[in-house]
Structures are given as C-alpha cells and as structure tokens.
Structure 1
Amino acid sequence: MGIWTGNPGIEAPNTSGDDTDLNADEKSDQLWKIFDSHVREPEIARYLLDSMQFIKPANKARVIERIEAALPHAAHDDGVKRALINLLSAQFEHDASVTAAAECHLPGNAMVLASLRKAANSSDQAIAHQAVLQYSRLGEVQDSLARLGTARSNGTISTNEYVREISFHLPLIADPVQQQQLLEVMEDAGLSGQELAELLATTTQLPYALSGLAPSSLHTIHRILAANPPTFAGDLLDIDVLALARYNRWAGASSAITHALSGEPVPSLLAAMVMLPDADPRALVAVAASPMAEPVMQVLTERGLASDALQRLDRFASATGDTAVASGIVADIRAKLTKRSLTPAP
C-alpha cells in the first residue's frame, strides 16, 4: 500500500508494508518522492509541501538539503517557492520551557535559521520575501529587527509588513528606549490610524505583551488606541461580525492597558466604554457577545445601568428596516440583562 496523501488526484508510489509502520523520516521521504514527480503541477506541489509540514522527521539536515536544492528550480512558481520556505520554517522545534533566544540554539534549529538567512539573501523576490518573514517569526529579536530593516530598505518586504513584524517583536525587547523608538517608527511609517491601532490592539493581547511592555510604551499604545477607535457602518442595523470583533480587540486592549497601569478592573472599564454618551449601541452588542459578557453585565447591573443599557438596545427596535439578525441578537442581550436586573442580590 502506498502512503496516502489525502488528495485523490495524487497517485502515491508503491511501498511495501503498511503505511502505519512508516516512521516520520520514511513518510517524509515518500512524500518528497511524490513531490518530485509533480514539480510542474503547482497546485499539487503546494498541497504536498503543506502536508509535509505536519511531519517531524528526525533527520532535519536531509530535509533542509532537499529544500535548498529545490528552491532554485526553474519549474517552480512563486507559490511553490513560498511553500518550500514554509516547510523549511516548519522544521524549527519550539520548546515552551526555554526562552525564545535559547530556543534558537536547540539542536537542529540553528540549521533551520541558517538556511532561512541564506534564503533571505536570494535574488529571487518570492524566496527572499517569504524567508525574511519566516525568519522574523523564529529568529532572535535583534537580529530579526536588523534583517527586517534591511528588507524594507531594499524592497523585499513592504512598509506594512515591516510594521506588522516589528509590532510582534515589540514586547520581547528588553530596552524601554528601543521600544519607544520602534513605536515612533510605527507611527511615522504611513499607516492609517485605524490600521496602526488594530495592529497594536492585536499585539497588546499577546500572552507576553503586558508583562514585556514598559509603562512608557503602554502609555503610547493607549494614546494611539484612544485616538483611533474602530468605527461601525452608518446603517445602525448593519451588525457586521468583523466590525464587532475589531471593536472587541480594541476595547479589550485599551482596558487591559489601563488595568496594567492603574489596577482598575477590566469589566468596569469595558462597562464604562459601552455606556459612554456617544458610544454606538453596537459597542454594547460587541462586548455582550464576547467572553467578557457576564462580568460586564454584572457591573452594569450593580451600577444600576441595566435600564440605560436596555434603552440603548431600543435604538435597534426603532431603526428603519428592522432585521431578524439584529432583533435576535438584541433579544438575547435584553433577556440576559433583564434576568440579572430581576435576580435579587445575594
């Protein structure tokens, strides 16, 4: 029985024995043979390379050698080249018990990083572009920042990509001064305020962010977020799930920073945000549909604001063109708030 790739359009080579008896290296060898036979079929080639990311062979050197030999192949389109770089990056082993810097020096990882550095200097734009980004997500912070700066200068990556990558490195930088300098670079990079705020909101909610960012950096990020709140569509009944998610990221990041700086509870901060006089009622809908719904509703009830919150929801009922989706969401929130208001305090 041949190793099955999961794609009925790909014929696997014949092998002896049951596939379940193959170890990771043997499976990798078999899939690479199939890949070699489909190098001129980009869709199949990419599929095979993506499949190989889930196999962790012990002989990383052999995988790396194969990838390095395949990258200059004239038959590969850009998508296949990027998939090869992704497969190379997938050979990096993560270990949560050590620091990111120490992780780079684990057996085999140094080979992966060296190969990515080599690929990042390729004259092929697709190879260099993907290698720079993958190295940024694996390499040591200061080395990654230097390489990102070079790649931005020579046009290998765009300004938007540069800003996005350094934002994820930001909390890993020990020096508060360098953090502030990079934040200034991000502000001056030409992104819109909304784009920058959304990016920093995502960064702030990374597991290590609040403990890694200096107070001065938190103040700067909070200022940027406060100046660029997310907006909703003009039509009140337009309840866009993506817009609700953006609001939740922004509100969650803003309240988490304030909590880190002042100690004020996050549910209280969120409750205050959604009840601001000029707040869009969809802000209340967004938070009420988030994991923070219960504690925020508790705060609204304890502060006697449940009635005011219900009045905000009434704006949906009075809007022209009432929809079943909006009505259903509002009815669910109304029921929860009403139940809490009617339940006697313990």
Structure 2
Amino acid sequence: MTGASRSVQRVALFGLPGAGKSTAAGLLRRTLAGMDRHVEVIKLAAPLYDVQAAFYARARTRLAEGQQDGELLNFLGSHFRTAAPGLLLEDFAQRAAAAELAGADVLLCDDARPADLDGLRDQGFTLVRVTAPDALRRERKAGRGDRRAGRDDHPTELGGDGVEADLVLDNAGDLPALEEQVVELAKRLPAAPAEQEAAEQVVASLVGLAREVITERYAENRHQIGAVVVTGDGRVFTGIHLEAMVGRASVCAEAVALGQARAAGAGDLMLALAVRHPKPSEERRDIKLVPPCGLCRELLLDYGPRVSTVVQDGDEMRVVPLASLLPHKYVGTKWPTR
C-alpha cells in the first residue's frame, strides 16, 4: 500500500474531573483546525461509553447530550481493567490508527486516566496535564449536570500526581485565559511521520474484519457481500448484503454498515470497503476485495464527501478517494452540498 508521508500529532489530556480536559481539547481542536490540521478526538473510554449507552437504552431512559453517569463509569473503568487488562489501550490504538488512515493528522484524547498514561506515551502521545484549584474544579464538576457524579478518589482517577507531564495547562482563570495557553501549547506540540507499516496493518485488519463478517453470515442468494465503514474518530461499523426476492428491494452491505454508523450518531464517514464471498459453485474460494457499486458510490459520497475506499491493484491494496471512482457525481437539491 502506498501513500504520501505526512506528520502526525498525538495529544492526550489528563487531570481530575472538572479540571477542564474536554474544554481544553475543544479549544485545542479549534486552534489546530485553524492551522489547517485535520483533528479528531479519540475517546480512550469509548468502550465504557458504549456500555453506558446500552445500559440506559435497556433501562428505557436516556442521558442528555454530553451527560454522563460517573458512578457507572467508575465501576466500568475498574471492571474493564480487571476483566480484560490491556483492552482499553489496545482498542484505543486500533481506533487511533484507523483515524489516521482516514485522514486525521492530529489525534486528541481528552479522557486519559492515570492508569493508561504510560501506555499512551508508548503510543506516541504527548501528555498534557490540565489543572485547576480544587474548589473551582469541584464547582465546575457539579455544574456539568451528570446523572450521578463520579468519585475523585476512585482508583481510576488516582495516580496522576506522580506522572511527569510533557506540558501543563493551568485552568485557574476564565476561558480566554485558557485559550491563550492553548494557542501557545499548539505551537509547541511535537510531530512525527505517520507510520506506513501501521496503515498497512489497519487496512489488512479492516479487510479481515469484512471477510470475517461475511464468512459467519454467508447464505447463497441472501448474503454475499460484507462491508466495513470507518468514521473520523476511528469507530468501525460492519454490514452484510441483503438480497431480496424482488431484486430492486435488495440492500447493499455498505448501506447497512452506513446505517449502523448513523444510528450510533456518527456523521463523519471517512473510509468504506467491501468484500465478496464466492458461491458454492465457483471454483475459486477466496473472499475478494471489491469496489463499491455505482449506487453505493453515490450513497457513500452523499454522507461522506471525503470518504475513501480500498481497491485491489494487482497484489497491492490501495486507499483511494471514492470520488475518484465517481468523477461526475449526481448533485440534487434535497440538502445543501458541501
């Protein structure tokens, strides 16, 4: 797989709840975007948030936008690290690599915890401590409106004081004061070349996932195509082709995967790929990478103008802009185009 080399910045913010990690990350994202960087926020605790969302959906209630259940997340954070040590960092590394493959050249983690800081540093992240006076921090935390507040003395929150940060943000003042520090911090962030080998491994992993999905669900004349879509923050969604007795009612695997992503609240489609499972009557039994069909090219570009796909070029897999496979896309009037 080939591609142009580029520099990547990886930044992880840590500090006690209420210190202002998310606020600082938002300011940093805006500042770096103004410097023509493609920034994505990658949540280390995404698996915990997924379980939290599933719990509240099953309980037939919902958390408000941005609201958290701190007590539940405390419990899940401890349990994940006990039941599956290393999972959070491994899952995070995969999503970070996928986000870079999808085009991000700055990755921000705004929910780092002390237990994970060594692992994040090993992954090339610059560690930024966000601090605030304790009384002010507690006031900010109380004002977030969480369903239940997490504990400052919970084991998942302890140990940060002993970590040597690369950079520090003092959030003791107002928002303009914090923004001024963030602007200066953005100028000091180190960058490193993106690793081509890592990108190749991510592509191979995504293709492998699509093959696994269709292998498990293949049914002749019903399910033949498996697809994977990746959003800007590195989340991965899968889908399988749905064949109908009336051909026009059939649904492509890419559309199913896209629906999964949209249902999860993802709106920044960045990469899509598909594989085809052979029929029992075919002599060759390998599951091949296939380009999206014309209808899927139209659909995917409607929801991700910057989306790329993976094509087979001889023995090599290449990531190419999907628009290059559909040079004269239809432009309608249903919604504003970007």
TM-score tier (shorter): under 0.3
Q: Which structure ranks higher in relative contact order (CA pairs < 8 Å, sequence separation ≥ 6)?
A: 2
- Structure number with the higher strand fraction is 2
Give the alignment's TM-score, normalised by structure 1.
0.24
- Structure number with the higher helix fraction is 1
Give the alignment's TM-score, normalised by structure 2.
0.24
